[in-house]
């Protein structure tokens, strides 16, 4: 018991000698934590002779309560001193926060617009077979897009998808008309990188198949999309073109929203900006997925998401989207 009294005096004196808040917390851990000295002494009570256990326990419990009270008092004392040093007139600290990537902003806006027009979002694998990328889309065997100079093959019959049209084929295989989907996602092509081209970029394909679908519905859908995206004054035009998977086919242009069609550097003095391709789904494509082209018709379109974002946010170099330059990304 005499030894216990000496221990008590040593512990109390040590706590009293704490010079600041941090030292006080160290003393709490040293004496009152699960492995602290006082707690270890309490665990040893079973080794004390039976006749002394009651007094031993009372002294230790009193020491525990006194040490805890003393530590709490010192903490309160030192925390008050710290708070007195805080200058409430100082401006708050600014913490760096993340932001949306411009391509994600464009994809979200694109999805929102098309969902309002009744389209759902579909997705598919980025590594595809030649069947889903070329054969099912009526792409002839001699087409240059099938060569290694244009496409990125991972095996003899497998390649990184060159467009998200493969998602349209997979969707039509799994169900029955009507279909009204968009399929935004990454695509890959064997291209040299420059200000307007990269080997990996993003594309959004759209598809609508039902009874009695017309080219007028395709025009109305795309006009509504571009006017919502770029403004009500946007003018949309369709130029005849050729794609193996649509017939008839067209390229889609919108009036330059920077010069309002007068001609500038952005539109190369033409007054128009080319934004994608479209057309009526080729009957052979419908037959390839088991849809009767005598009963059903449909339209499809493809839009480059980087191209849409470059025009929306006045970005001059497509490589800016993948270089991770914070000076560029922080603007969004």
Would you state the torsion angle of the CA atoms of residues 44, 48, 51, 52, taken in this order, to the nearest 10 degrees? -70
CB 312 within 8 A of CB 230: yes
Does 105 score more than 70 pLDDT? Answer: yes
Collapse the DSSP code of 239 into the 3-class scheme (helix H, G, I; strand E, B; otherwise coil) and give the result.
Answer: strand
Q: Residue 129 and residue 105: Cα distance in Å, rounded? A: 30
Residues 6+ apart with CB under 8 A from 293: 283, 286, 287
CB 252 within 8 A of CB 222: yes
Collapse the DSSP code of 224 into the 3-class scheme (helix H, G, I; strand E, B; otherwise coil) and give the result.
Answer: helix
CB 113 within 8 A of CB 225: yes
Pairing assessment for the beta strands 120-121 and 179-188 based on DSSP bridges? parallel
pLDDT at 37: 86
Tell me the pLDDT tens digit for each residue of 163-218: 999 999 999 999 999 999 999 999 999 998 888 889 999 999 999 999 999 999 99
Confidence of residue 81 (pLDDT cuts 50, 70, 90): low
Tell me the pLDDT tens digit for each residue of 15-74: 888 888 888 889 888 888 888 888 888 888 778 788 877 887 888 888 888 888 998 888
pLDDT at 305: 95
Q: Residue 285 and residue 311: Cα distance in Å, rounded? A: 32
The DSSP-derived string for 153-217 is BSSSSEEE-SSTHHHHHHHHHHS-S-EEEEEEEEEE------SS--SEEEEEEEEEEETT--HHH
Query: Which two tokens mark 254?
Result: 């919108």
pLDDT at 98: 79
**pTM attached to this predicted model:** 0.69
Tell me the pLDDT tens digit for each residue of 112-167: 999 999 999 999 999 999 999 999 999 988 888 899 999 999 998 999 999 999 99
Confidence of residue 82 (pLDDT cuts 50, 70, 90): low
Tell me the pLDDT tens digit for each residue of 239-296: 999 999 999 999 999 888 777 777 777 677 888 888 899 999 999 999 999 999 999 9
pLDDT at 96: 76
């Amino acid at each position: 018991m005499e030894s216990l009294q000496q221990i008590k005096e040593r512990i109390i004196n040590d706590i009293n000698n704490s010079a600041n808040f941090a030292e006080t917390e160290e003393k709490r851990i040293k004496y009152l934590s699960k492995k602290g000295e006082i707690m270890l002494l309490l665990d040893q009570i079973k080794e004390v002779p039976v006749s002394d256990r009651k007094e031993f326990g009372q002294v230790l419990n009193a020491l525990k309560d006194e040490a805890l009270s003393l530590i709490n008092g010192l903490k309160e004392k030192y925390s008050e001193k710290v708070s007195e040093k805080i200058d409430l007139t100082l401006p708050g600290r600014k913490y760096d926060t993340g932001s949306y990537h411009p391509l994600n902003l464009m994809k979200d806006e694109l999805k929102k617009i098309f969902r309002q027009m009744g389209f759902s979002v579909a997705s598919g694998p980025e590594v595809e077979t030649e069947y889903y990328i070329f054969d099912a889309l009526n792409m002839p065997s001699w087409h240059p897009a099938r060569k290694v100079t244009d496409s990125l093959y991972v095996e003899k019959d497998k390649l990184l998808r060159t467009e998200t049209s493969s998602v349209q084929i997979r969707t039509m295989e799994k169900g029955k008309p009507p279909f009204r989907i968009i399929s935004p996602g990454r695509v890959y092509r064997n291209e040299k990188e420059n200000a307007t081209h990269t080997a990996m970029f993003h594309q959004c394909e759209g598809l609508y198949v039902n009874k009695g679908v017309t080219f007028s519905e395709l025009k109305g859908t795309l006009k509504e999309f571009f006017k919502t995206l770029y403004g009500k004054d946007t003018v949309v035009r369709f130029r005849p073109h050729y794609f193996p998977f649509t017939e008839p086919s067209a390229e889609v242009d919108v009036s330059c929203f920077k010069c309002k069609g007068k001609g500038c550097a952005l539109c190369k003095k033409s007054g128009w900006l080319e934004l994608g391709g479209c057309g009526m789904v080729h009957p052979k494509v419908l037959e390839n997925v088991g849809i009767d082209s005598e009963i059903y018709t449909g339209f499809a379109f493809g839009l480059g998401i980087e191209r849409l974002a470059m025009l929306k946010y006045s970005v001059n170099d497509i490589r800016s989207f993948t270089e991770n330059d914070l000076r560029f990304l922080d603007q969004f």
